Structure 1
C-alpha cells in the first residue's frame, strides 16, 4: 500500500490501531485553479467588439462568430447592452431593436473610445 501511494505521487498513508484498525490515505493535492485569461475579461471583450465594429456594422451573431464563439454568449449580450447604454454603439434599425436583421455600428463616441483604446495599445 505504501509503494502504491508513492507510485501514485501521494503522501505515505497513516496507520492507527485504537479500538479498531484505521488507515488514512491522503488524496492528491487539487490542481491549481484555472485562471481567467485576460482576453475573456469584459473590458477586453468590449474593446474587441469596438474593434470589430470599426470595420462596419455587424449583428450579434456575426460578432460572436468573429470572436470565435459558436453562438452569442451571455457575456457578449451584456457587453453589447452596456455599449448601447453608454451610446458607444447604436442599432442600424433603431425603430426595430428586435429585428432579425438588426446590426450594430459605432457612434461618434464609440469611434473616439476605439481610437483611445488603440492609442493605449500602441504605448
Structure 2
C-alpha cells in the first residue's frame, strides 16, 4: 500500500521538475498521476482496496463515501471539481490527443494537489 503513496510523491516531484522547465503538459500529467495514486492510497488504507479507475472525480466521490466529511474533504471535492476534470483530460490527452496546457492550468492543478495532500495527511489519522 505504501508504494502508492511513495509513487504519488515521486510524480509530484516530477511535476515540479517539468513545470520548472516549461513542460506544462508533462507537469499536468504528473500532477494527475500524483492525485490518482494518492487517492487510491487513501482508499486502500481505509478499505483494503481501491476502484480500478483513472477518473479523479470518481475516486473523490469514493473517498467521500468511505471517510465522510472529515478533514474538509467535501469542501475539497466541491471546490476542485473543475481542476479534477482538467487533470482527467490531461491524462487521457497525454496518451492519445495533443493538448496545449497553460501555466495557469498547472498553477491551479498544483494548488489542488497540494491541498489534496494536506487533506490526505489528515485522513491518514482516520484509517
Same fold (TM over 0.5): no
Higher relative contact order (CA 8 A, sep 6+): 2
**Band of TM-score, shorter chain:** under 0.3
